[in-house]
């Protein structure tokens, strides 16, 4: 699969995530031991084998998540792109407010096209509907 740009790679990443498809997920990742992933509330997982094992563990429960992506900001250079965004995650078949997660995805241009190098996701507190996602205070 050749991904022409970081947006294509991001779309493939979240499509694989929603389908709980470990093979499709790992096809989006760079085949480089510099890859890393930080899931909400988890520690850093590094290397292709460890990242793949983490995704297989997450997906062992089956496809249950739906993602709505918001507040996307991108920074793109010729061979690297950084995307920050809010993931609004719903569990299929359950009501209630979505879980809010702030994610940073780092993509790199490889010989096989654009691939993800790193994914870091941190949970956000529930925000009332209509509230701006950007913080009002700098730290």
Residue 57: per-residue pLDDT: 94
Residue 33: per-residue pLDDT: 92
Alpha helix segments (H runs only) across 22-113: 22-28, 48-59
Residue 98: per-residue pLDDT: 85
* Bridge partners, residue 75, by sequence: 82
First to last CA, the chain: 41
Residue 92: per-residue pLDDT: 81
- Residues of the chain where predicted confidence (pLDDT) is lower than 50: 135-139
- Residue 52 near residue 21, CB atoms below 8 Å: no
Residue 127: per-residue pLDDT: 58
Residue 48: per-residue pLDDT: 97
Distance CA 74, CA 12 (A): 17
Separation in Å, CA 100 to CA 12, 31, 97, 104, 132 = 20, 29, 9, 13, 13
> What pTM was estimated for this model as a whole?
0.86
- Residue 119 near residue 107, CB atoms below 8 Å: no
All structural domains of the chain = 6-123 (3.10.450.50)
Residue 107: per-residue pLDDT: 98
């Amino acid at each position: 699969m050749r991904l022409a740009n970081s947006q294509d790679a991001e779309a493939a990443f979240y499509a694989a995530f929603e389908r709980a498809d470990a093979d499709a997920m790992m096809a989006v990742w760079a085949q480089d031991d510099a890859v890393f992933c930080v899931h909400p509330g988890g520690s850093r997982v590094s290397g292709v084998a460890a990242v793949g094992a983490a995704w297989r563990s997450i997906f062992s429960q089956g496809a249950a998540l739906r993602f709505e992506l918001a507040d996307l900001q991108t920074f793109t250079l010729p061979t690297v792109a950084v995307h920050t965004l809010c993931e609004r995650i719903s569990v299929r078949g359950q009501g209630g407010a979505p879980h809010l997660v702030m994610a940073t995805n780092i993509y790199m241009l490889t010989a096989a096209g654009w691939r993800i190098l790193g994914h870091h996701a941190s949970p956000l507190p529930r925000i009332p509907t209509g509230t701006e996602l950007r913080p009002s205070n700098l730290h």
